Structure formats: C-alpha cells, structure tokens
C-alpha cells in the first residue's frame, strides 16, 4: 500500500531577485512500512523533499499525498492537525524546547495530541530508555551534548506513534555505538509496529540498513535502488 505519493513536485525559493530551484518535477512513491534513505550531495534537495512531504514547506507546483490525504490541497490548520497525529520529525537542529526537560520534550507532541498525562509520562520514559537516556530525563537541553539532544529528538518523534517518520541526518551527531543502537531501534519499530521511515543521510551506516535508496541530484531523482530486505546489524 502506498503511503506517500509525490507527483511533479517543484519547489522554488526566492533569494531576493534570484530563484533557487530546490526540487524539479520530483515523482516518488513510498510504500507503507518502507525503510528508505534519501542520498545525494549537500544542496541536492534532500531536506527540501522531506519538508514538503511533511507539509512544513509549500510546493511551488505538484501534488503531495500522504496516507490518502492531499496535503497540497489542505488548509494550513488541517495540515498541522494531520502532521500532529501522523508524521514524526527528527530535525538536524534537534528543535528541542530549551525550557523543557528531556522527558517534557518527549511528552510535548503527545500532550498536543491530547493523551492522558500518565500515558505521556509512561511512553516518554519508555522511549528515553530505549535511546539510552532514561537517567537524563530531568535534564534541560543545555545540559545535554549534541548527540544526547539528537537522541531526545528521536525519542520525541517515536513516542508520538506516527505512521511516517521523516529524519534529516539522524545519526550526524552520534558516535558509532549510539548511531548503531539508534538505527537498530528504528529498524525494530519499522518491523514490529509498521512505522515507515524516510531518512536523508550521508551516513553509510544508514544506507547499509536501508531497504531502498533514492538518490537526488540537483533537485531531481537520479536513481532508485530497491535492495529488498536487509539484515539488522
């Protein structure tokens, strides 16, 4: 079953008088349950593609359908609600709330979803434990390293129970041990709970585990490698 369908998507940014073509007529389908890596050089359009799939950026032209919903035809309020309940984000810049503890940051999206306080606390601690940070649950982001903040951001995305996780360079600030552990966790959730993962990455460790690799060059998809099932390492 197709979860994401992108048809003829173009994204043009304006920088003063200059038009920057970030995406140029992209077509891509992502099936439910995929574990897919977007690869390509810096500036190729990987992050922009994640942002339009997650309805964080409007498209200049084309159509983005996620879970049967045409996000490009929705009002912003409806897109925000859809994102809240269906899409998890892991940003390069972490985007943690500085005045909230690690646990409160993980709870944040679930609170917005209207979940009970006890459930938010339970799920937050469960996922902090799974990323190896349960003992740092009461620390503010400023008391965490960059790699630890990244793991909190991953826990926040997973704890909300999304159908689709969009992860922008999720292992970029992690050492080898934590990167491997995090990828193993995501692979487990992909298989056990059917979460769909779409990564932008330069990391060969992510590519090793990806079941599909989509290469982007100059805003266009230049290759798709359907590799089939991979072995979790």
- pLDDT digits over 190-205, tens only? 888 889 999 999 989 8
Six-digit token string for 126: 């469960």
The Cα-based distances of 55 to 61, 65, 110, 176 in angstroms read 13, 10, 19, 32
- pLDDT digits over 35-90, tens only? 999 999 988 999 999 999 999 999 999 999 999 999 999 999 999 999 999 999 98
Number of C-beta neighbours around residue 77 at 10 A = 8
Mean pLDDT, residues 155-181: 90
Confidence of residue 182 (pLDDT cuts 50, 70, 90): confident
Contacts of 216 (CB under 8 A, 6+ apart): 38, 39, 40, 44, 45, 46, 49, 222
pLDDT of residue 232: 37
**Chain centroid to CA 54:** 8
Contacts of 68 (CB under 8 A, 6+ apart): none
Domain coordinates in residue numbering, the chain: 2-226
- pLDDT digits over 158-169, tens only? 999 999 999 998
What percent of the chain is predicted at pLDDT more than 90?
Answer: 72
Closest CA to 160 of 135, 136, 134, 193: 193
Task: Please tell me the number of Cα atoms within 13 Å of 147 on its side-chain side.
Answer: 14
pLDDT of residue 85: 95
Domain 2-226 sits in CATH at 3.40.50.300
> Count of residues for the chain?
233
């Amino acid at each position: 079953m197709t979860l994401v369908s992108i048809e003829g998507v173009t994204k043009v940014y304006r920088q003063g008088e200059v038009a920057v073509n970030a995406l140029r007529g992209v077509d891509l389908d992502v099936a439910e349950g995929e574990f897919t890596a977007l690869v390509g050089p810096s500036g190729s359009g990987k992050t922009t593609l994640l942002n339009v799939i997650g309805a964080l950026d409007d498209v200049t032209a084309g159509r983005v359908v996620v879970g049967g919903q045409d996000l490009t035809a929705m009002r912003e309020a409806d897109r925000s609600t859809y994102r809240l309940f269906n899409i998890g984000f892991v940003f390069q810049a972490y985007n943690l709330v500085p005045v909230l503890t690690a646990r409160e940051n993980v709870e944040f999206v679930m609170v917005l979803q209207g979940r009970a306080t006890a459930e938010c606390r339970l799920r937050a601690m469960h996922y902090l434990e799974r990323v190896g940070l349960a003992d740092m649950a009461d620390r503010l982001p400023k008391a965490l390293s960059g790699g630890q903040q990244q793991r909190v951001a991953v826990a926040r995305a997973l704890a909300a129970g999304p159908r689709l996780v969009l992860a922008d360079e999720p292992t970029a600030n992690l050492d080898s041990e934590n990167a491997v552990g995090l990828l193993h966790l995501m692979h487990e959730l992909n298989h056990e709970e059917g979460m769909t993962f779409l990564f932008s990455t330069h990391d060969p460790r992510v590519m090793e585990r990806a079941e599909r690799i989509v290469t982007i060059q100059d805003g266009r998809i230049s290759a798709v490698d359907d590799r089939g099932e991979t072995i979790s390492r």
